[in-house]
Amino acid sequence: MLLRACVRGGLVSLALISPAVAQSDTPAQAAIRAALTQWMADFNAGRAEKVCDLFAPDLVAQYRGQPERGYDALCDLLKRSLADRGKTYTYALAIKEILVEGDLGVVRLTWTLTVRGKDGETTSVEPGIDIFHRHADGSWKISRYIAYESP
């Protein structure tokens, strides 16, 4: 009995000091993580027909130094980038945190974009915040995002 109490206490302590062990995704967090991961896979594979699936029609996208973009403008930019045969674009994703309350989700993340072309390769690290909204069909889509390039 004492051994069982010690083991239980040890597990609780471990859970409190180790967030990776203590926290697992809720269904909403898992759905948002899956949506972001799928978008990355679609973008990296050049699937232009899928590249807008992550974004809501009411999207407002803000990237430091760039004009604010809505759904149509962002989708056009993404599709034109993927159609550019002189360059290849690859994104890597690092999710720092996913917070969900009701039908809203907020994700702190960093995208790392690598662009390869005839003039060489450039990489930009782009921290940001994505605000997701759960739609009537149960899908999670980005309604707002703010991003910038790290110095």
Q: What confidence tens digit (pLDDT) does each residue in 53-98 have? A: 999 999 999 999 999 999 999 999 999 999 999 999 999 999 999 9
Q: What is the layout of strands, in order, in the sheet containing 104-117? A: 55-63, 140-147, 120-134, 104-117, 87-101
Q: Is residue 9 part of a domain?
A: no
Q: What is the CATH number of the domain that holds 131?
A: 3.10.450.50
User: Tell me: the pLDDT tens digits for 5-27?
Assistant: 333 444 333 333 334 433 589 99
In a domain, 3, yes or no: no
Q: What is the pTM of this model?
A: 0.82
Please give the tally of structural domains in the chain: 1
Which residue range(s) make up the domain with 37?
A: 25-147
> Does residue 15 lie in a domain region?
no
Q: Report which residue type is found at 55.
A: F
- What is the rounded CA–CA span in Å between residue 64 and residue 58? 20
- What six digits make up the tokens of 123? 């990489």
Q: Answer yes or no: are the C-beta atoms of 137 and 121 closer than 8 Å.
A: no
What average pLDDT score do residues 111-139 get? 96
DSSP state of 64: T
Residue 10 lies in a domain: no
